[in-house]
Amino acid sequence: MKRMNIGLLGIGTVGGGVFELLKLNTQEIQRKTSTDIKIIVVADKNISRAKEIAGTSIEITDDAFKLVEDKKIDVIIELIGGTGIAKDLVVKAIENKKHVVTANKALIANFGNELFELAKKNNVTLAFEASVAGGIPILKSIREGLAGNKIEWVAGIINGTTNFILTEMRERGISFVKALSEAQSLGYAEADPTFDIEGIDAAHKLTILASLSFGIPMSFKDVYVEGIKTLEQKDIQYAEELGYRIKLLGIAKKRDKGIELRVHPTLIPEKRLIANVNGAMNAVVVKGNMVGPTLYYGSGAGAFPTASAVVADLIDISRSSKVPSYGFENSKINVIPIYKIEDVICGYYLRFRVTDKPGVLAEITKLFGDKKISIDAMLQKEPQEQESEADIIMLSHLAVEQEINSIIHAIEALAATVGKVIKIRLEDLSK
Ligand code: NDP
Ligand code: HSE
């Protein structure tokens, strides 16, 4: 049997999961690969905790750079996270002709382009399946299973923490802060959870999905990002009354002159399967021009689901699989313009408060009519006792964002309007 020696950098949530998985499934993996895939050294800052997880029969060090120089090691698994020391270690490992497997989406989204080039130059693999949607083999599906298609759009719930928070708020009515703290204790959240709640983690993953779907360089800086922090409970309820769920979606869509790349809370019709993806689960819809919409669902975070993807990459390496990093030939990667948020096209949920008097609605619907934008649905909440103002909710048909913004300004300028208009984007996701 062949032997593949692994150096594991970071034995925290995911690293611990990888260690355990390789132990539990040794025989199954050997039946599939005829390779003994063995972690021979672990590096972690916290040596005593590392010993608790890995035992004492294995070498453990707090010097991660020792591993990337170690001639006995064939593959480095990087599970430290971030773009500081993790990047230096990955670069050194590649320069030392070691294959690298990582779950680090921040690293790939920000530095993937240069790292893939370095890996190619050194004739090694840089594998990153676990970086998007945890245990769902979504990158493999796009690169390989859908390779015969032109991808038209991708939309996904790709952050488990925020989906967990939104689900807990909707189903159990618990507060944002309590739901976040539960997500942290379950090991879903990033070391800095603002990456989750502000949509940055989802933007990292969307960057990777878009790059592999359209054959474009990693373009993280061009992603429009809005998180879930300002989302109000009442909008979750109103959306539901109108037959929609609100999810933090990452959306990458090809249009005639470029690509839309955006992460934001989104209304989705509740009859879509993806609208019913709850808790820390992830789901991604990929629309290929030949296959039509396809849906991938599974655990998007946590020790074992993520370990499952890391180990799949190890197995690919043991089989000397030669699928290009982007799924496209490196020389065929094209820079394509990314639409500004003002130019994206989608539906919109608008909520505003107006004084309850005749003629106000007519004024507002005229604003839509003047721009030739249809109103798909409307909800008017009766004023509570002793109130003279009512909440109005309108769902628009597809519109260019700057047109909707100008309607919003006009609504806010009306004498009857109280306060600001709340805008949430809406996607139908049917075709
Ligand atoms: P953890 O914080 O649980 O694990 C990271 C480990 O690396 C910790 O034990 C940490 O020690 C150790 N570490 C930090 N700095 C160093 C260093 N300089 N040298 C050696 N060890 C170090 O993170 P996760 O396991 O959750 O995440 C790892 C990676 O996987 C990240 O890139 C993350 O984004 C990604 N990921 C995580 C998922 C999840 O569900 N958790 C899912 C998908 C991807 P200490 O704790 O003492 O700092
Ligand atoms: N913090 C991430 C999430 C981990 O909640 O989805 C998985 O990438």
Between 3.30.360.10, 3.40.50.2300, 3.40.50.410, 1.20.1600.10, what CATH number should domain 138-299 receive?
Answer: 3.30.360.10
- Among the listed ranges 122-126, 277-281, 317-321, 384-388, which one has the minimum average pLDDT value? 384-388
Q: Domain 342-426, CATH 3.80.30.20 — does that match?
A: no
Q: Rounded to the nearest whole angstrom, what is the distance from the C-alpha of residue 80 to the centroid of ligand 1?
A: 4
| Helices 13-24 + 303-318 axis angle, to 10 | 60
Q: How many CB atoms lie within 10 A of CB 103?
A: 27
pLDDT, residue 301, reads 87
Instruction: Evaluate whether 334 touches 215 at the Cβ level (below 8 Å).
Output: yes
* Atom number, ligand 1, closest to the C-alpha of residue 309: 43
Q: Rounded to the nearest whole angstrom, what is the distance from the C-alpha of residue 174 to the centroid of ligand 2?
A: 21
Residues with CB under 6 A from ligand 2: 134, 159-161, 188-190, 196, 201, 300-301
How far apart CA 321 and CA 318 sit, in angstroms, is 8
For 47-99, write each residue's pLDDT tens digit: 999 999 999 899 999 999 999 999 999 999 999 999 999 999 999 999 999 99
- pLDDT > 90 in the chain, percent: 89
Q: What is the pTM of this model?
A: 0.97
- Residue from 105, 168, 196, 263 whose mutation best tests the ligand 2 pocket (most atoms within 8 A of CB): 196
Query: Tokens 């300004």, residue?
Result: 409
- Residue from 306, 308, 310 whose mutation best tests the ligand 1 pocket (most atoms within 8 A of CB): 306
90-93-97-102 Cα dihedral, nearest 10 degrees: -50
pLDDT higher than threshold 80 for residue 17? yes
Place 228 in a pLDDT band, splitting at 50, 70 and 90: very high
pLDDT, residue 174, reads 85
Q: Residue 98 is encoded by which pair of tokens?
A: 């070691």
Q: Which ligand is nearest to the CA of 106?
A: 1
pLDDT, residue 428, reads 96
Q: Rounded to the nearest whole angstrom, what is the distance from the C-alpha of residue 299 to the centroid of ligand 2?
A: 10
For 357-408, write each residue's pLDDT tens digit: 888 999 999 999 999 999 999 999 887 777 789 899 999 999 999 999 999 9
Average pLDDT of the segment spanning 305-333: 95
Domain 2-127 is classified in which CATH homologous superfamily?
NAD(P)-binding Rossmann-like Domain (3.40.50.720)
pLDDT higher than threshold 90 for residue 340? yes
How far apart CA 280 and CA 264 sit, in angstroms, is 17
Q: Which ligand is nearest to the CA of 12?
A: 1
Average pLDDT of the segment spanning 110-139: 97
How far apart CA 248 and CA 240 sit, in angstroms, is 15
Task: List the chain domain ranges.
Answer: 2-127, 138-299, 342-426
Q: What does the angle CA 383 – CA 389 – CA 394 come to, to the nearest 5 degrees? A: 85
Q: Same fold for the domain at 138-299 and the one at 342-426?
A: no
Residue 213: φ, ψ to 5°: -75, -40
Residues with CB under 6 A from ligand 1: 10-15, 43-46, 64, 79-81, 85, 103-105, 130, 134, 187-188, 190-191, 301-302, 306
pLDDT higher than threshold 80 for residue 267? yes
Q: Strand locations in 125-257, DSSP E?
A: 126-127, 151-157, 224-225, 244-255
Q: Residue 421 is encoded by which pair of tokens?
A: 């208009």
Top pLDDT among 356 and 137 is at: 137
Task: Identify the three-state secondary structure at position 69.
Answer: helix
Known catalytic residues are: 205
pLDDT higher than threshold 80 for residue 31? yes
- Residue from 128, 158, 161 whose mutation best tests the ligand 2 pocket (most atoms within 8 A of CB): 161
pLDDT higher than threshold 90 for residue 105? yes
